[in-house]
Amino acid sequence: MKLAHRFLYYFSGFTIGIIFLVFFLSGKETSCEYGPDARTLKSIRVLKHDYSKQAENFLAEHNLDTVSVNHILKTGDVDFGKSKTHLDSCNVYNVYGEFKTRNLELIIERCSSVATIKKINMLP
């Protein structure tokens, strides 16, 4: 079999497979979140969120709302070096992100049924 025929068979099968995937996966909520940051942030996003008094005061002082926290939970980065991930009860994560040119740090305690935003800091 000639090399050109091999490429033709490969690309025709590849094209049919792509069309098959697009047809069956369109409209479904599929995601490819395989990195440790993405998995951690997704596990925090799906839980109920509670805010500590310090976090509520910070949001009120800086004219922010929960939209900023949700934005950072979608686009932020987790600093696993500062996070405490091997605790028995609840893990504590440091999440960094930017919202409207403001760099923010969220300290989040993730338990089995609730994620508590303990502290929010403004970074320089």
Average pLDDT over every residue of 58-70? 90
- Long-range contacts, stretch 22-27, CB < 8 angstroms, 24+ apart: none
For residue 87, the one-letter residue type is L
Residues 104/68, Cβ–Cβ less than 8 Å: yes
Pick the residue with more confidence: 75 or 88? 75
Dist CA 81 CA 77 (whole Å): 12
Q: Which residues contact 64 (CB under 8 A, 6 or more apart)?
A: 58, 99, 102
pLDDT above 80 for 25 = no
The burial of 69, by beta-carbon neighbours within 10 Å (0-12 exposed, 13-18 middle, 19 or more buried), is given as buried
Residue 21 pLDDT level (bands cut at 50, 70, 90) = confident
Paired residues of 119 in beta bridges = 107
The pTM is what?
Answer: 0.73
Residue 53 pLDDT level (bands cut at 50, 70, 90) = very high
What are the CA-CA distances from residue 101 to residues 59, 79, 124 (Å)?
A: 15, 20, 11
